[in-house]
Structure 1
Amino acid sequence: MIACPVCRAPGPAPFLRVNGADYWRCGVCLATVLDPAHRLSAAQERAHYLTHENDPADPRYRAFLSKLADPLLARLKPGAEGLDYGCGPGPALAAMLREAGHAVALYDPFFAPDRAPLARAYDFVACTETAEHFHAPADEFDRLGGLLRPGGWLAVMTCFQTDDARFGAWRYRADPTHVVFYRAGTLRHVAAQRGWSCEIVRKDVALMRAPG
């Protein structure tokens, strides 16, 4: 791996091999990345997502999403316009934000592939349990930044990687669609590279804000 796909720093180092799959570690942003040779095909990836039970009416799933929704809602002005980026087949977060009075567009490369919502800007972009699937994270974060109005919020929820000793047995790592793992400091670095602020509002949730 020539450059880190998260921060574009040169020379990530081999980190660990688990069940024949190689992982790399960036010495700058500390992201851990699955070697591209071990990724699923697009068809396999989509099929795996369809096994997830993300029912918008499930109160347990809503409680899980509230980890991001509650702190984001506390910062939004009434009637804000946003995008659920990577909404999946059951866009529960969008439903929750709409119920709170905000307009929310949808985009997902597999389940809401119309790219028209990517041609405008928003007061907020929510990215829940999506960033760990990014094959080109630096490019994705650049795209997300381009979707924000001045002062707009990028809300990211992904399970932070904290314990190297447990990485091999980590259930989150074992999901075959999870190809990049972030520490809290990784997302702070991503934000700093783009001139955004970054607040880790609770475990696994970062709120980044564009200047303006």
Structure 2
Amino acid sequence: MTLDCPLCQSTHVVDFEQDKRRRYFRCEPCSLVFADPASRLSPKEEEAVYQQHENEIGDEGYRRFLGRLADPLLEKLGSAPLEGLDFGCGPGPALAAMLEEAGHKMVLYDPYFMPDHSVLGTTYDFVTCTEAIEHFYMPHKEWGQLLSLVKPGGWLAIMTKLVIDVDAFKHWHYKNDPTHVSFFSRETFCFLAGRDGLDVDFVGNDVILLRKKNE
């Protein structure tokens, strides 16, 4: 099988793992692990899975979870009110509410729940993308879109679980969600930071803060 990496589009792709659900591949240059494209859900099937999520804006447990990204991001942003975009906000945009409560102005985008494409035509001081990047079928396209939304000097804040190695991957619950198709690692984000002129800061096990350098 000949496959191009869906992130960096390299042809240097190797087998990584196979389970009872899917086959997985790994890109040698950028280290992205991705599920066999033949195993992807249809848009209708994918949306049906998302509809089962119960993430409410006022849910304190969900807010604590999102605080793992919100708190370090707010430290980076400082006190001046800034404008941000929550990309892939889902049906319950709790993170945007938290950042607005901290004094920032937020707009929302989600291809299923907030499909307002007009918000993708400008740039922002910061863009957040929590538990969404692993759903990207064409991460080369969506990654480029995310970067295009961030002003020079601005921040891209991502939350996603990271691949460690093949042994951990074998027993990783995260890969069992059929809507999870693109799996990033520290090596992947370091590759992207080096290629795209970003400063990268890893916070804990699943938060990545990237700063777009001033032009």
TM-score with structure 1 setting the length: 0.96
Q: Show the 5 A alignment for 1:111-122.
A: 111-122=113-124
The DSSP-based 3-state class of the residue aligned with 1:74 is: helix
Deviation for aligned residue 1:7? 2.0
Which residue of 2 is the match for residue 8 of structure 1? Answer: 9
Structure 1 residue runs without a partner (length 5+): none
Give the corresponding residue for 2:72: 71
CA-CA distance at 1:29 after TM superposition:
1.6
> Deviation digits for residues 139-197 of structure 1, max 9, x if unmatched?
11111111111101000110011131132331110001000111112111112211111
Q: Partners in 2 of 1:68 and 1:9 — Cα distance?
A: 31
Question: Which residue type is aligned with residue 137 of structure 1?
Answer: P
Alignment of 1:1-212 (within 5 A): 1-77=2-78, 78-212=80-214
Runs of at least 4 residues off by over 4 Å: none
SS, match of residue 111 in structure 1: coil
1:9 deviation in Å? 2.0
**Mapped contact 1:80–1:103 kept (Cα < 8 A):** yes
Asked if structure 2 preserves the Cα contact closer than 8 Å seen for 1:6 and 1:190, the reply is: no
Question: Mind listing any 5+ residue stretches in structure 2 that lack a counterpart?
Answer: none
C-alpha distance in structure 2 between counterparts of 1:20 and 1:118, whole Å:
35
Is the CA contact (8 Å cut-off) linking 1:17 and 1:23 kept in structure 2? yes
**% same residue:** 47
Q: How many residues are aligned here?
A: 212
Matched-pair contact (CA < 8 Å) for 2:125–2:150: yes
Deviations 1:92-126 (A, max 9, x none): 10000000000010000000001011011000000
TM-superposed CA distance for 1:20, in Å, is 4.4
Q: In structure 2, give the amino acid aligned to 1:65.
A: L
- Corresponding residue SS for 1:167: helix
